[in-house]
């Protein structure tokens, strides 16, 4: 079946005896045993598994073409489960512009236990020079945050296979609609479900999808169930509900994103637009190859500096000045001041999450904000 159909029907496995058309919210933390001590409902205790979470996991594994999925209470918890599953002393190659929350985990929580190199992963050829005897994993994020850099997943998958390394991909900016890293060689895909998958800025969550049920995956499932950083049934219910419209929401984000990027690209007050859908993007050809469309995330450099960028975020009215991304409402953010004093993000960079308002209104809003510079 096609994606739009799966998004609606792959999440409707559980049939209740009250005739509900959509799966009800099941809040029970514990489940009946039968005379032989078994669990006829398939669940024992809701941290281990529960009906709403199992449905979400099945749905996400289906949409991302994987074998299984573990859902977590946040994207950060999902990523952390991967790092926790590695043996102490393991070496990881991670992107130099890795999502800052993961960079922070690796530099603080895993400082003593893991060995990490932050590398520009857009240059796949030079990655092999960082591989050491204790290297076990390459972690990639594409499109990356906040510069929307694209890494060639197929080339990276081949390199990882050659060196028997795990390839993990943070695919949050693409969502399961725009790319399928598993089909290009990734072993694990990570999503912050807080973003496009949730899509309404009202659920926090994360997910990992595996290509195969191997020993690493067993360790990750154990970390999920015994570590306990799990989403609540209500979070899972909301995510399953949101995924039903994900294919159509992503189409809107992509077409609004492209139109806004093209408008900003020709504006005299804009120094640069980072959007993988523009032919001027350095990895546009790779993006065209591995993504079905380019999403609603972009960053722009405002001519001038920090002051001019701040003026623009304060002048726009439809773009809420707030962090996060992937929701139906447009957001704008001055990244450098969010990331703090040790950031490498340029002071005149604004990150934009294009929402589902009419694009004419979004363009008009930017037009008035930029005209006063």
> Which parts of this chain interact with ligand PLP (CB under 6 A)?
74-76, 99, 101, 141, 145, 170, 172-173, 192, 194-195, 204, 206
Instruction: State in angstroms the smallest separation of the CB of 26 from ligand PLP.
Output: 23
Of 188 and 370, the one with the shorter C-beta distance to ligand PLP is 188
Instruction: State in angstroms the smallest separation of the CB of 15 from ligand PLP.
Output: 31
Residue among 61, 49, 135 nearest 93 (CA): 135
- 297 within 8 A of 358, measured Cβ to Cβ: no
Residue among 293, 224, 248, 254 nearest 57 (CA): 224
Q: Of the listed 53, 64, 97, 99, which one is catalytic?
A: 99
Order of strands, sheet of 349-353, starting from the edge strand that comes earlier in the sequence = 270-274, 297-302, 349-353, 331-334, 320-321
Q: Of the listed 97, 170, 187, 293, which one is catalytic?
A: 170
Order of strands, sheet of 91-95, starting from the edge strand that comes earlier in the sequence = 68-72, 206-210, 188-192, 166-170, 135-141, 91-95, 115-119
Of 172 and 179, the one with the shorter C-beta distance to ligand PLP is 172
64 is catalytic: no
Of 192 and 210, the one with the shorter C-beta distance to ligand PLP is 192
Q: How far is CA 126 from CA 129, 283, 310, in A?
A: 6, 16, 37
Of 76 and 242, the one with the shorter C-beta distance to ligand PLP is 76
Instruction: State in angstroms the smallest separation of the CB of 95 from ligand PLP.
Output: 10
Of 23 and 175, the one with the shorter C-beta distance to ligand PLP is 175
214 is catalytic: no
99 is catalytic: yes
Instruction: State in angstroms the smallest separation of the CB of 271 from ligand PLP.
Output: 24
Instruction: State in angstroms the smallest separation of the CB of 62 from ligand PLP.
Output: 21
Cβ-proximal residue to ligand PLP, closest one: 75
Instruction: State in angstroms the smallest separation of the CB of 145 from ligand PLP.
Output: 5
Q: Of the listed 47, 65, 103, 104, which one is catalytic?
A: 47
Of 223 and 370, the one with the shorter C-beta distance to ligand PLP is 223
Cis peptide before 192 (omega within 30 of 0): no
Q: Of the listed 53, 97, 187, 195, which one is catalytic?
A: 195
Question: Exposed e or buried b for every residue in 157-175, given b needs 16+ CB within 10 A?
Answer: bebbeeeebbbbbbbbbbb
- 242 within 8 A of 203, measured Cβ to Cβ: yes
274 is catalytic: no
Establish how many alpha carbons lie within 13 A of residue 287's alpha carbon, considering only the half-sphere containing its beta carbon.
23
| Paired tokens of 2 | 């096609």
- 276 within 8 A of 284, measured Cβ to Cβ: yes
- Catalytic residues, by residue number, are 47, 99, 170, 195
């Amino acid at each position: 079946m096609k994606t739009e159909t799966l998004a609606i029907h792959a999440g409707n496995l559980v049939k209740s005896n009250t005739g509900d058309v959509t799966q009800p919210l099941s809040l029970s933390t514990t489940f009946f045993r039968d005379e032989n001590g078994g669990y006829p409902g398939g669940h024992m205790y809701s941290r281990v598994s529960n009906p709403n979470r199992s449905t979400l996991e099945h749905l996400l594994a289906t949409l991302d073409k994987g074998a299984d999925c573990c859902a977590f209470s946040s994207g950060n918890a999902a990523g952390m489960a991967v790092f926790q599953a590695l043996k102490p002393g393991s070496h990881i190659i991670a992107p130099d512009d890795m999502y800052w929350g993961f960079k922070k985990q690796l530099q603080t929580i895993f400082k003593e236990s893991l060995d990490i190199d932050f590398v520009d992963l857009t240059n796949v050829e030079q990655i092999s020079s960082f591989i050491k005897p204790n290297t076990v994993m390459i972690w990639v994020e594409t499109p990356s945050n906040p510069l929307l850099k694209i890494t060639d997943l197929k080339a990276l998958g081949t390199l990882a296979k050659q060196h028997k390394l795990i390839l993990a991909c943070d695919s949050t900016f693409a969502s399961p609609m725009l790319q399928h890293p598993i089909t290009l060689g990734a072993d694990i895909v990570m999503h912050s479900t807080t973003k496009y998958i949730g899509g309404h800025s009202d659920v926090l969550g994360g997910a990992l999808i595996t290509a195969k049920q191997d020993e690493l995956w067993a360790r990750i499932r154990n970390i999920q169930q015994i570590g306990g950083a799990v989403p609540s049934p209500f979070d899972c219910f909301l995510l399953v509900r949101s995924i039903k419209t994900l294919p159509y929401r992503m189409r809107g984000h992509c077409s609004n994103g492209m139109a806004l990027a093209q408008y900003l690209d020709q504006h005299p007050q804009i120094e640069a637009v980072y959007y993988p859908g523009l032919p001027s993007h350095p990895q546009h050809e790779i993006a065209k190859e591995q993504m079905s469309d380019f999403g609603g995330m972009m960053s722009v450099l405002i001519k001038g500096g920090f002051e001019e960028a701040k003026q623009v975020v304060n002048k726009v009215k439809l773009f809420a000045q707030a962090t996060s991304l992937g929701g139906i409402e447009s957001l704008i953010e001055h990244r450098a001041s969010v990331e703090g004093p040790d950031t490498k993000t340029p002071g005149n960079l604004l990150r934009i999450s294009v929402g589902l308002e009419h694009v004419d209104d979004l363009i008009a809003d930017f037009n008035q904000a930029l005209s006063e510079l």
